[in-house]
Every structure is written in structure tokens, then in C-alpha cells.
Homo-oligomer: A and B are copies of this chain.
Amino acid sequence: MKTHELILNETRNVKFSAWIQNVGGEFGKLEKRPAILILPGGGYSFCSDREAEVVAAPYLKAGFQAFILRYSTGERKDWPNPLNDYEQAMELILSRADEWHVQTDKIAVLGFSAGGHLAACAATKGKHRPNAAILGYAALSQETADMCQPGMPSPINDVDKDTCPVFLFASRDDNIVPVQDTVDFEKALLANGIMFESHIYAYGMHGFSTGERYLNPNKNCSRVSHWVQDSIEWLAEVFGTLQSEGFSSPAYSGRVNGDWDTMLSADCTMAHLRKQPEAVQQLLAEVIAVISAIVAQKTGKGLSMTPFFKMIKLRDLMTMIGQPESAIERIDVSLRQFSNVR
């Protein structure tokens, strides 16, 4: 591993650390690695050491290149200075991607508290948006943002269709950044069909970081440390698993269901597919006939579109009644020929 300590901006005291792991050699066919850019918290007054290197370590173990950005704070915190620091850091990573063995479409950003605010701004309105964002007890509402610095943007308002997948964690009794911010961000993500995962732990003091005992004089609930491994597994699903011969396919594409996509697919809900034009209905007819026959055989009744039934994805319905994967793939390929009528 090689480490680099760079000053991105002398005037604003912006520091950038890079932890670069080898590829090739003992690592065989590994040529590129995913990356994580860490933004420590500190209320835009400082960048906390408690949310820096100690946080990079588990991602290094998981095979990531790790970067830490100590962005503009204190008297230099005027918006958009911190966001500009982020953009500069991303440009640096992208420009040195070959030298640093970074897979440029697999860069996650991880921010805590005020750093979570910055990470969420990067994910919602950044010029160089990350491919995934992890937000820890993050300041996301206008009210909390204003407490850091009047006039800063609220990422809740800026969530859009191009926001990357998001992993959220917080503690329910946080008195410093209210967990309300996290709940309202969930709602904004839902409204925009953005993939997310969220963990709100029963209790834990603001700034619990990785939950390590030596970082927390107070007592937190036992789960506060789980987000670390959970987020690593989640990133493997979003980016694909890092394997000795490269990345596997991502496990999950990211929307709520296919109803949100440009083309139809087996990931659309039954209700949505039934609203599509005649040509799609003809395609569906055979599949529905098979489903009806199986349902009739099991229940002695015909297939009725109950409210719950309407909301199931075609893929899940076919899986549930035991249709082989090949049959699902066949209808999926056919459906993908049709534009989604919304």
C-alpha cells in the first residue's frame, strides 16, 4: 500500500489523503479497485479524526482504495467552498484513476454529520456525482443545515432522478442532528424511486463513528457498529462483488421496480403491465394463462386481480409459483422490446 498526503488548497487548509493498494502481482488478475471518499464530520467547524482513518480501514480490508478529504471548515466554511473541495478531490481521483487503480464508475462517498451534509450535496447536485453515498447521522434538512451555516442548501430538497443509491444510518435519540433529517431523506428518495437502505438504531450518541468502544465514552446500543459491515455488503451489491478476476455483476439495479424504467421488463408490476397497449397484452397472455392454470389447480378458483396481487412484480410472481428461470428470462427479454407507457 502507498499513502499520499496532498494539500488541495493552501489558503483554505484543504487536505487530501490517499491510501492506494496494489493490483497485479500477488493480487493476480485484479486490475482496478472500487474507491471510497470519506468526509469526516465536525459541524463545519473542524474535520474530526474520529471519523477519518479509523473509518477507512474496513474499506481497505474489503479491497477499496480509500481517500479522506479534510474540507474547508471554520472561517473558510462559506458555501460552496466545501462542495468545491469535494469537486476538486473527485477530479484528482478521476485524473489519476490509472495510476491509483480506481474503477471510475465505482466510487462511493461516505460522510458523517456535517460531512454527511456535504456527501448528500455531492450526491444530489454535484458536478461529479458519486456512484453511491453512505450518510451517517447526516445534517440533511434546511433547519439543520442553517444551524451549521445560514443559507446552506438542504439535500432533502435536491434529491432527483439522478441521485445515486444511498445507505443511511443514524440513532433515534440523536440530539445534535435530529433523526427526522434521515426520515425525511428516506421520503425524498422514495418519491424519486432511488434505491436505498436505512438503519435507525435505538440509541447512540451523535458522532458514534464506527461504534468502537474506545471512541465512545457513553453507552450505545449494540447495533451502532453494524453499519460498517452492512454498508460493505451493500456496496458489493450496488457495484458488484470484487473478486480475484474482477467485479461480478451488480446484484440489484436500483429502482423500486421496472415501472420507473424506460423500457418494460419482468420487474414491472402486474398492474402496470396490464395498463400497457394491446401488443404487450398479447405477449402476457400466455404467461397469465400458465399462472391462472396453476392458481386454479392450487385453489380451485380462477385468477382474480386482488389489490395485493396487482402490486407484485411479474418476476416475483413467476418465481413464487415455481416457473423456471428460463421462462422468466424469455418474457423479460420480450418485454424489454417495448417502451414503457406511463
Contacts and interface: CB of A to CB of B under 8 A. Distances in A.
Given A21-B54, A202-B234, A252-B203, A197 B214 contact: no
A313 interface: yes
Interface residues on A, range: 35 or more
Interface stretch (A87-95, A104-112, A222-230, A282-290): A222-230
A214 B172 contact: no
Contact of A27 (B49, B183, B320): B49
A172 B256 contact: yes
B26 A202 contact: no
12 contacts: A22-B49, A25-B49, A26-B50, A28-B217, A147-B307, A172-B198, A197-B223, A198-B200, A213-B242, A221-B233, A223-B230, A223-B233
A219 interface: yes
B28 A322 contact: yes
B43 A308 contact: yes
Contacts of A243: 213-214, 217
A26 B173 CA distance: 22
A329 interface: no
A180 interface: yes
Contacts of A21: 53-54
Given A218-B316, A312-B175, A49 B62 contact: no
A29 B322 CA distance: 8
Given A175-B311, A205-B316, A234 B214 contact: no
A179 B190 contact: yes
Interface in A241-260: 241-245, 251-252, 256-257
Contacts of A48: 26
A186 interface: yes
